[in-house]
Chains A and B, each alone.
Chain A
Amino acid sequence: MSAVTKADPATPAGSAHPLNRRRPLGDRGFQILALAAGLLVLVILVLITVTTAQQSTAWFSGGFKDIFQVAFDGNTRFGAMGVLYGTVISSVIGVIIGVPVSVGIALLLTQVVPARWARPFVYVIDLLAVVPSVVWGLWGIIVLVPWLQKIYVDIASGLKGVPVLGTLFGGPNVTGASFFTAGLILAIMITPIITSLSREVIATVPDIDKEGAYALGATRWEMIRGAVWPHSQGGVVGAILVGFGRALGETIAVALVIGDSVEVTPHLFYSGHSIAAIIALQFGEATGGEFRSALIGLGLFLFVLTIVVNLVARWFVERSTRRARGE
């Protein structure tokens, strides 16, 4: 027996026959079971695509003009553009607000706070992550929305006539339940995942680079910029994309605070809607064939969108951590 080649230890020593023929049935059965369980992931993903596509043919057959209109009224018009706008805008706002905070915390926990004091901080972030989406929505609609309503009205009247900001944050119909409020809640909800992924990524930066920067007289911030950032930027971008994907798919909290009107408008303090929210809120009332088919079609659209965003995101993250680990 060659001692150099790493033989599969499960092969009984001295057997000349290939693995399959010599292994007991139970052992083989277990392997098949494990394989089946693993394949389940792929099977489910494929099934989701196929079944939702089948159920939404009525909507797709309506033609491009119908699908790509803005209005969605559950009666005659089933356009995707209005709800897509709301989904993207609220998620973008969530990322803009959430990313500086998340990356800041990730840097805090990996570079500033000594390792043995980091644990309570991590617990706080975990606490943030464990609050269910529906509870954020409940707090949002009962506490945050009325409070923000007053603030929005004040901001809007203060910015009256101002060129760009006035349009973004003004307008006569500002209301608490709006794109911006949804973005705010999304920022809170995606912070834990961006923070934890960024921490993972930043933790793989080799110590030697960091120590080298310090040896050259760098301050901590300069070390972060010069040694940590170049190594982890790809991974952090990936973490941000994961958070963005999470925001795109967030349903319940958004449904409760985004308002109830499907429209494309630059006024961020206006009522809006999102794909996931409209599916959740309207499904109970969708008795008509095309209505239901449209909602399922929107679900398929959201599925594909989040899969694509996550594919790109995970690729970035895994590439960064693999490279730093030296694989």
Chain B
Amino acid sequence: MMAAVSDSLAQPVDLREPSGWRRSKNQIMTVLMWLAFVIVLIPLGFVLVTLIAKGADAISWQFLTNSTIPPNVLPLGTGGMGAAVVGTLEITGFATLLAVPLGVLGAVYLNEYGGNGILARLISFMSSVMTGVPSIVMGLFIYIIWVLHFGYSGMAGSFALACLMLPIVIRSSYEMLRLVPDSLRQGSYALGATKARVTLTVVLPAALSGIVSGALLAVARAAGETAPLIFTVLTVEQTNPNLFSGPDTALPLQIFSNAQSAYTGANARAWGAALTLVAITFILMIVARIITALFTRNTR
């Protein structure tokens, strides 16, 4: 430090500028940080480009809607992934119906009723921890308590996905509910409303856009999950319209099994299914962002 000071006294000095090596070190570090971002762009770009190029070859109206999944060995052109598309929509849809109301209610408990109590803090902490539970464990869990007794079904898959979504919805809804200013609640209480009424008619609507976008992100995540479905849904080659009984299939499962095949036809179908799946999750993500962007002003 002293050397730097005496050095700088020797000539007209601009004390705002750091000396040689300190500036280079700073620049190097800045370059490295930018490099980190660029590094991440490479695989992302690679995957998206390959996905679009190879997936586009496979996608056609027949591919998306034909209800018979052909044997692996057959090339593109026969059958399609309609069974898997319907399966994904049904299974994920039902899982959403289960997880979102329960998750929002759980967040309501944490924010409105639980306060700083030990139970609320425990539930809040364990919800965060639960988001890190591997999805395969959820699949095994539902296999043991449901499939072993009632058989494979799309609904069992929905249960497993709902277990996965629940902590995510709780945490994101909790964050949104916290942002609702207390003044809104107190104004409502002042008018004589009960706590339930306040929550349902004032707090939830105020936090609605944030809750919805959080829920959509949870749905996007669930739609892409494979492992929970392996143990609960099995597989089929024809569309199973009944969500509540009989094995089913979904896009991630088809991608998984076709990816392991050496056949070019199966691989092509895998890319097509992958592009379809990413498109679905992408749309959900964009809708979530739009809702957030349009309505953020409201929560201040």
Mark A residues whose CB is within 8 Å of B. 9-10, 12, 23-24, 26-27, 29-31, 33-42, 44-45, 47-48, 51-52, 54-55, 100-105, 107-108, 112, 121, 123-128, 130-139, 141-143, 188, 191, 217, 219-222, 224, 242, 245-246, 248-252, 256, 276, 279-280, 283-284, 296, 299, 302-303, 306-307, 309-311, 313-314, 318
Contacts and interface: CB of A to CB of B under 8 A. Distances in A.
B105 A34 contact: yes
B114 A191 contact: no
- Interface of chain A: mostly helix, strand, loop or mixed: helix
16 contacts: A9-B185, A30-B195, A34-B108, A37-B103, A37-B105, A40-B166, A48-B141, A51-B144, A108-B33, A130-B224, A130-B282, A135-B274, A135-B277, A141-B259, A141-B260, A217-B18
A248 B170 CA distance: 23
Contact of B224 (A54, A133, A242): A133
Interface in B84-129: 102-103, 105-106, 108-110, 112-114, 119-120, 122-123, 125-129
Given A39-B123, A105-B33, A249-B134, A132 B225 contact: yes
B278 interface: yes
B145 A310 contact: no
Given A37-B105, A104-B33, A299 B145 contact: no
B195 A249 contact: no
Given A134-B224, A135-B47, A220-B30, A101 B140 contact: no
Contacts of B242: none
Contacts of B103: 37
A302 B137 contact: yes
A105 B33 CA distance: 6
Given A41-B170, A123-B289, 20 more contacts: A38-B119, A41-B123, A48-B133, A51-B141, A52-B144, A55-B144, A104-B37, A126-B285, A130-B221, A134-B252, A135-B255, A138-B271, A142-B259, A188-B43, A217-B16, A220-B30, A246-B132, A251-B227, A283-B231, A314-B129
A217 B4 CA distance: 12
Contacts of B112: 34
Contacts of A128: 40, 44
A35 B166 contact: no
A41, A55, A108, most chain B CB atoms within 10 A: A41
B62 interface: no
Contacts of B144: 51-52, 54-55, 296
B170 A30 contact: no
Contacts of A252: 226-227, 252, 256
Contacts of A132: 223-226, 252, 277-278, 281
B227 A40 contact: no
Interface string B215-257: 0000011011111001100000000000000000000100110
A296 to B, nearest CB: 6
A107 B163 contact: no
A222 B27 CA distance: 11
A314 B226 contact: no
A30, A45, A279, A310, most chain B CB atoms within 10 A: A30
Given A37-B106, A310-B132, A296 B47 contact: no
- Interface of chain B: mostly helix, strand, loop or mixed: helix
A12 B123 CA distance: 29
A5 to B, nearest CB: 15
Contacts of B195: 10, 23, 27, 30-31
B300 interface: no
A33 B134 CA distance: 28
B41, B109, B135, B140, most chain A CB atoms within 10 A: B140
A299 B141 CA distance: 9
B44 A27 contact: no
A105 B130 contact: no
A307 B196 CA distance: 34
Contacts of A38: 105-106, 109-110, 114, 119-120, 123, 170
Contact of A107 (B18, B33, B35, B141): B33
